[in-house]
Amino acid sequence: MEELSVVIVTQNEQDRIRQCLESVVWAREIIIVDAFSTDQTVEICRSYTDRIYSRKWDGFIPQKNYALTLATRDWVLSLDADERLSEQLIAEIKTVLGTKGNYCTAYSMPRKTYYLGRWMTHSGWYPDRKIRLVRKGSATWGGLEPHDVLEVKGRVCMLKGDILHHSFRSLSHHIKKLDYFTDSASLELIKSGRYVGCIDMIVHSWGMFMKMFFIKKGFMDGMQGFIAACVSAFHVFVKYAKTWETGQRDKETEG
């Protein structure tokens, strides 16, 4: 049977990290890369593993790539602190580890998000497949901040069990994360040199609402689906508004 390393990046996750670790406590190796948490995150992690590393936060992609380099087992499972494995997914991963002659290089799995008291099953939030289980040395994190993606050299197969995602503690937490994520997304737009105007703010934000609530059937997620569509539309609006704001500030500086 091949062995599994689990790698997790953390920063002030004392209220969620224990559930994440409990779901992977059976793994041969658990590695934590912590961005100098100021709460009890590290202390909680020490009761599950001694492989804890401190590293200044410089973005999701570099942080997660560093974590990958620390893994020593045959397979690597990469998780966020607000995620945990369902029982079905645990069983499937154990089957993968015990399968001889496995021709797959990596596995994707659906991710189900718990939002304001409800498991979201529409809205474009599910199945939200993520590649998280890879053979050691076969993948690196890429994409654009803050939307990191595991880029795999080889065949990707699919598992059916869910990653259970507890991303937002509350609506206030969602809005606070929106501010951070739009900073990163705006920076990527600025790097591309794209001009942003009023039309972008209106069309893209309205398009996001229509896509989530109607095309992706967010109305079937009830009030939570409506709120998620509204906040996501606002997210898009703020991303473009921040990009415009930066452009205006640069013009003033040049003037």
Give the CA angle between residues 49, 55, 57 to the nearest 5°: 120
- Per the CB < 8 A criterion, the answer to whether 236 and 204 are in contact is yes
pLDDT tens across 195-247, in order? Answer: 899 999 999 999 999 999 999 999 999 999 999 999 999 999 999 999 999 98
The answer, yes or no, to whether residue 105 has pLDDT greater than 90, is yes
* pLDDT tens track for 23-53: 999 999 999 999 999 999 999 999 999 999 9
Say what the pLDDT of residue 188 is. Answer: 86
The confidence score (pLDDT) of residue 88 equals: 98
Q: Picking from 58-62, 113-117, 230-234, which range would have the lowest pLDDT averaged per residue?
A: 58-62
Ordered domains of the chain (ranges, CATH): 4-108+132-154 (3.90.550.10), 171-254 (no CATH)
Least confident segment among 109-113, 174-178, 181-185, 249-253? 249-253
* Residue closest to 32 by CA, chosen among 73, 74, 75, 79: 79
Sign, Cα dihedral of 199, 201, 202, 204: positive
Confidence label for 255 from pLDDT (cuts 50, 70 and 90): low
What share of the chain in percent tops pLDDT 70? Answer: 100
Q: What are phi and psi of 230, to 5 degrees?
A: -65, -45
pLDDT in tens, 143-168: 988 889 999 999 999 999 999 999 99
142: buried, middle or exposed (CB in 10 Å: 19+, 13-18, 0-12)? exposed
The pTM (predicted TM-score) of the whole model is 0.93
Residue 124 pLDDT level (bands cut at 50, 70, 90): very high
What does the mean pLDDT of the chain come to?
A: 96
pLDDT (mean) for 4-9:
98
19: alpha, beta or left? (left if phi > 0; alpha if psi -120 to 50): alpha
Give the model's pLDDT for residue 115.
98
Question: What is the arithmetic mean of pLDDT over 120-138?
Answer: 98
